[in-house]
Amino acid sequence: MAQDPLFLLAGGACLLVLIVLMIGIGGFARGGAFNRRHGNRLMRYRLAAQAVAVALILLFVAIRGGIGG
């Protein structure tokens, strides 16, 4: 399973969500100009990345026979 390209892609998408989330939380905690300029944009990016990650996970489960199998 760990060698499956779709599994690796879904894992990479989850990692991207985590990175964007941590940058957004860090900017929010510090406040200042960075948060005012980029805070909302980072959370929109996180939401989009999270939607892609969930779709990839569901696709992986569906293709590999986890749903209805």
Q: Which pLDDT band, with edges at 50, 70 and 90, does 17 fall under?
A: very high
pLDDT of 68 = 60
Highest mean predicted confidence (pLDDT) among 2-6, 12-16, 29-33: 12-16
pLDDT of 31 = 87
Residue 67 pLDDT greater than 80, yes or no: no
Do residues 67 and 61 lie in contact, with contact meaning Cβ atoms separated by under 8 Å? yes
Q: What is the pLDDT of residues 18-63, one digit of tens each?
A: 999 999 999 999 988 989 999 999 999 999 999 999 999 999 999 8
* pTM score: 0.83
Burial per residue of 12-31, b for 16 or more beta-carbon CB atoms within 10 angstroms, e otherwise: ebbebbeebbeebeebeeee
What single-letter DSSP state applies at residue 69?
-
